[in-house]
A and B are shown apart, each in its own frame.
Chain A
Amino acid sequence: MPRRFITAEDIRRVGSGEIVVESQTVVTPQALDAARAVGVVLKGSNGSAFEQPAPDRGPDAARAEQSMPLMPEPEADEAGGTGVMVVVVGRNRTGVLAEITSAIAQNGGNVRDISQRSVEDYFHLVLTVGLEHAGQFKPLKETLDCLGGDQDFVARVMHERVFRYMHRV
C-alpha cells in the first residue's frame, strides 16, 4: 500500500529537491504550502506534475454495487429511459392542459399515461412522462415548477423511482 499522506513535516525533513508522490498519496494543504516555501518540487509517480489523487473509498466500495439486494428497479427493456410523474392541481381554465403538455414536449418528454379529474372549478391531473435520458429530468422539473402561479395551478415533478421504491415490494 502506498503511503497515505505527505505532511508539512515530511517536506521539511526532505528540505530541498524533488519528491515523487505515489499515485494514491494525499498531500496535505500545509505540505503544499511548505513545499512552495522551501522550494521542494512535487512530482506525480509517472513523472508529470503532481495532482491530488481521486479519493480512495476503500476495498468495500468496489464490491458495493454487487452486494446490493434487489429493489423494484425498472427492467432494462421496460419502456426505456427515465420515468417521471407529473401531478398538477389547480383551477380549470381554457388551455391549461395544452400549456402543461407543451412544456413537457419542449423538454423532450413523451406523455405515456394521463388521468384527470375535475371537481367544480378545480382539476387534478396525473401524467406519466417518459424521458429518453436522465439528463432531461432537471430542465423538465425546473420548467414545470415555474409554470402556473398562486391563483392558477401548481405542478410537481417526481422521479418514477421514488414511487417504485415506495409502493412496490
Chain B
Amino acid sequence: MAFSDTEILETLRMVELETLDVRTTTLGISLLDCADPDLESTCEKIYAKIVHHGKDLVTVADSIAADYGVPIVNKRIAVTPISLVAAASGATCLVPLARALDAAAGEVGVDFIGGFSAYVHKGFTRADEALFRSIPEALEVTQRVCSSVALGTTKAGINMDAVSEFSELVIDTAQRSASTGGLGCAKLVCFMNPVEDNPFVAGAHIGIGEPETVINVGVSGPGVVRSALERLGPDTDLLAAYETIKRTAFKITRVGELVGREAARRMNTTFGIVDVSLAPTPAVGDSIADILELIGVDKAGAPGTTAALAMLTDAVKKGGAMASSCMGGLSGAFIPVSEDQGMIDAVAAGAMSLAKLEAMTAVCSVGLDMVAVPGDTPAATLTGIIADELAIGMVNAKTTAVRIIPVPGKGPGETVEWGGLLGTAIVQDPGSFSCALLHRRGGRIPAPLQSYKN
C-alpha cells in the first residue's frame, strides 16, 4: 500500500509541528472486588490490585510511543467510584482509601488517579455521605488523587441537596490549598450525566457496567485543527471549514484508535473507547479559542462564538465517529479557561464573560472547566452556578461538568498563576445577586420531561 508524499508529510507535520499527541492512555480497573468489612483490608486490597494491574502501564505506553513515533503525554488510572467499594466497611472517614490510591498511583508511576467518586444523582448512601465529607482532606493530603461526583442525570434530575453540599466542599478544598491559589479544586469536579469510561482527569473513573480492566484513550489536537483551518484560509464558506475540521478529526481519532488497540493488546486487556476531544494546553497554538477565531469571530466570547463552537464540536464528533466505532462520550471540544491561552486572552480583553461561557457549555463537550471566581464567593452563589450548568446538561441530555476554583484572597479581574498545564486564570465576576433561597431549599429537581422516552 503506497502512500503519497503529501500523506506522509501531512502525518509528520501533525506530530512534529502541530503537537498532535495522545493526551492520555488510561487504564480502568474495577475495584468492586476490594470491598471488605475492614477499612484497613480494603486499603490493602485496593493498593494491591492497582499495582498488580497497573505496574506495566507506563512501560507499555512508553514502548508504543517509541514504536510508533506518536507521543503519549499522560498515563493514568481510573477506578470504580470509591464510595461503592467503601460501603461494606461502614467507615465514616475515607481518607485512608485516598492515601491508598495515591500510594498505588505513585508506585506504578502515573501522575493522576481518578475515582475518589460517588454517584449521588438521586440520593446519598451512608458511604456517599462519608465520601463527600472526606473529599477536602483527601485532596489536601494526597498528590495524585482526583475526585468526581455525579450530582444529576437526565433520567433522575438534579440532587440539589448534593449540589449545596458540593459547593461547601469546593470552598473548603480551596481554603485548604490557599497557598497554591486554591489548586486543590483542580482535582475536584461534579457531573451531570457522567461518562462512565471517562479517560480524562479530574473526572476519570470506571462505572459499574465496565469490565474488570479496560484501556481508554483520549486524543487531542487543537493545534492540528487550527493549522488545517489556517491553510484553508478565510475565503471559503462554513461548510468547507466544517469539512476540514471533520477530516482532521478523523485522522486524529485514528491515531488514538491505533494506540488504544495496541495498548490493550500489549496489556492483554480490553480496548474501551477513544475519546477525541480537542483539549487545549497553555502552549501557544494549542488553543480552542484560536480555532473559534479562525472560524470567524474576532475574539472568543464575541457574538457568534456559541455557533462556531457548536459547529466545531459537531464536526469533531462526525469525524471521530467515522474513524472509530467506539468513540468516547466526551468527544468534542473542551473549553478549560485557564488552560487555553486564547481563552485567557479573551477574558483579559473583556470579550469572555461567565455568562457567555455558560452559553458555550450548552454546545461544547463538557462544561464550565477551570473557571476562577473570587475567594469570598458565597456557597449559595456556587450552588447557583453549578445548578445552572447541570440544568443545561439535564435538559439537553448531555454531559456537563463544573470545575470551579474560588481563589483565596483574590477578587474579580485579578490574575492567578497555577503553572504547568493548568495555566493562568483571571478571576471572573459572578455578580452580586444571590440565590441563597435556592441554596437553602435543597431537595431535588425531578427528572425532566425529556427523560420519559420509554
Residues of chain A touching chain B, judged by Cβ–Cβ distance below 8 Å, are 4-5, 7-9, 26-31, 52, 55-61, 64-65, 68-69, 71-72, 74, 78, 85, 87, 113, 115, 117, 124, 126, 128, 134, 137-138, 141, 156-159, 161-168
B450 contacts chain A at the CB level, 8 A cutoff? no
* A-side contacts of B16, CB under 8 Å: 156
A160 to B261, CA, bound (A): 16
Q: A5-B45, A7-B41, A9-B38 are in contact. Are A162 and B270 (CB under 8 A)?
A: no
Q: Are B270 and A57 in contact (CB under 8 A)?
A: yes
Q: Which of B305-334 contact A (CB under 8 A)?
A: 325
Q: Which residue of B lies closest to A62 (CB)?
A: B268
Q: Are B69 and A165 in contact (CB under 8 A)?
A: no
Q: Which residue of B lies closest to A145 (CB)?
A: B69
* A-side contacts of B212, CB under 8 Å: 56-61
A32 to B296, CA, bound (A): 63
B5-13, B78-86, B115-123: which lies at the A interface? B5-13
Contact string against A for B residues 245-287, beta-carbon threshold 8 Å, 1 for contact and 0 otherwise: 0000001001101100100110111110000000000000000
Expressed in whole angstroms, the minimum distance between the Cβ of A83 and any Cβ of chain B is 8
Q: Are A58 and B69 in contact (CB under 8 A)?
A: no
A60 to B211, CA, bound (A): 7
User: 6 closest A-B pairs (Cβ-Cβ)?
Assistant: A58-B212, A158-B69, A28-B48, A60-B211, A165-B254, A28-B44
Q: Are A68 and B271 in contact (CB under 8 A)?
A: yes
Interface residues contributed by chain B, number (CB under 8 Å):
50
Q: Which residue of A lies closest to B107 (CB)?
A: A29
Q: A9-B38, A55-B52, A166-B251 are in contact. Are A28 and B47 (CB under 8 A)?
A: yes
Q: Are B213 and A58 in contact (CB under 8 A)?
A: yes
A8 to B9, CA, bound (A): 57
* B-side contacts of A28, CB under 8 Å: 44-45, 47-48
A164 to B1, CA, bound (A): 8
A27 to B38, CA, bound (A): 16
* A-side contacts of B325, CB under 8 Å: 69
Tell me if A's interface is mostly helix, strand, loop or mixed: mixed
Q: A59-B212, A126-B8, A137-B67 are in contact. Are A165 and B269 (CB under 8 A)?
A: no
Contact string against A for B residues 205-236, beta-carbon threshold 8 Å, 1 for contact and 0 otherwise: 00000011110000000000000000000000
Expressed in whole angstroms, the minimum distance between the Cβ of A164 and any Cβ of chain B is 7
* B-side contacts of A167, CB under 8 Å: 3, 7, 10-11, 251
A134 to B9, CA, bound (A): 23
Tell me if B's interface is mostly helix, strand, loop or mixed: helix
Q: A158-B69, A159-B68 are in contact. Are A168 and B44 (CB under 8 A)?
A: no
Expressed in whole angstroms, the minimum distance between the Cβ of A37 and any Cβ of chain B is 15
Q: Are B7 and A163 in contact (CB under 8 A)?
A: yes
Q: Pick from A27, A60, A74 the residue with the most CB of B within 10 Å.
A: A60
Q: Which residue of A lies closest to B214 (CB)?
A: A60
A151 to B271, CA, bound (A): 43
Expressed in whole angstroms, the minimum distance between the Cβ of A77 and any Cβ of chain B is 13
Q: Are B38 and A87 in contact (CB under 8 A)?
A: no
A16 to B115, CA, bound (A): 37
Q: Which residue of B lies closest to A134 (CB)?
A: B67
Q: Are B255 and A165 in contact (CB under 8 A)?
A: yes
B351 contacts chain A at the CB level, 8 A cutoff? no
Q: A7-B36, A60-B211, A64-B270 are in contact. Are A74 and B66 (CB under 8 A)?
A: no
Q: Are A166 and B41 in contact (CB under 8 A)?
A: no
A68 to B48, CA, bound (A): 30
- Extra contacts besides A5-B44, A5-B49, A61-B211 (5): CB < 8 Å: A5-B34, A7-B38, A8-B44, A68-B261, A158-B70
Q: A57-B53, A115-B5, A166-B254 are in contact. Are A161 and B68 (CB under 8 A)?
A: yes
A117 to B212, CA, bound (A): 52
Q: Are A9 and B53 in contact (CB under 8 A)?
A: no
A26 to B36, CA, bound (A): 15
B178 contacts chain A at the CB level, 8 A cutoff? no
Q: Are A162 and B2 in contact (CB under 8 A)?
A: no
A59 to B210, CA, bound (A): 12
A113 to B7, CA, bound (A): 15
Q: Pick from A8, A64, A78, A163 the residue with the most CB of B within 10 Å.
A: A64
Q: Are B270 and A58 in contact (CB under 8 A)?
A: yes
* B-side contacts of A52, CB under 8 Å: 52
Give me 12 A-to-B residue pairs in the complex whose CB atoms sit less than 8 angstroms apart, sorted by A's number.
A5-B48, A28-B45, A56-B212, A58-B212, A61-B211, A64-B264, A87-B9, A128-B2, A156-B16, A156-B69, A159-B68, A161-B68
Q: Are A7 and B44 in contact (CB under 8 A)?
A: yes
